[in-house]
Amino acid sequence: MPGPLVVNDSVVIPDAELVWRFSRSSGPGGQGVNTTDSRVELTFDLAASTALPPALKERARGRLGADTITIAASEYRSQLRNREAARHRLAQRLREAIAPPPKRRRPTKPSRGAVERRITAKKHRSDVKRLRRDPP
């Protein structure tokens, strides 16, 4: 399980840049909850990372709004599974943060047929409501 964190095809974070902390998880769990450190905190320092090029670093910093990312995982009883969940969530968050911006929408006008259909439907609806009224 230890090893580099693969974010995408071009970005791989070395294991040395990931900081792990372990603590006791809260909630039910029987006797084991008081003795095992199954809660995991994974911290990644974006500013000090050498794995990301400067352009991707700036994009991620702008989208995340911080220089460090901390992921906490305590949904499983096993520390190993919580470590895997934290690694997966960090990779997903970084993938979203360094993704290229979406293409800009090119504004378009409705077609003449669409405008005519809309006007016809409005007139029909108006006629239906007019016919429902009581005669004066």
pLDDT digits (tens, 9 = 90+) for 18-64: 888 888 877 665 665 556 778 889 999 988 888 888 898 899 898 88
The answer to whether the predicted template modeling score (pTM) of the entire model surpasses 0.85 is no
Domains contained in the chain, CATH given: 5-98 (3.30.160.20)
Distance of CA 79 to the CA centre of its chain: 24
The answer for 27, left when phi > 0, alpha when psi is -120 to 50, beta otherwise, is left
Q: How many of the other CB atoms lie within 10 Å of CB of 88?
A: 13
Average pLDDT, the chain: 87
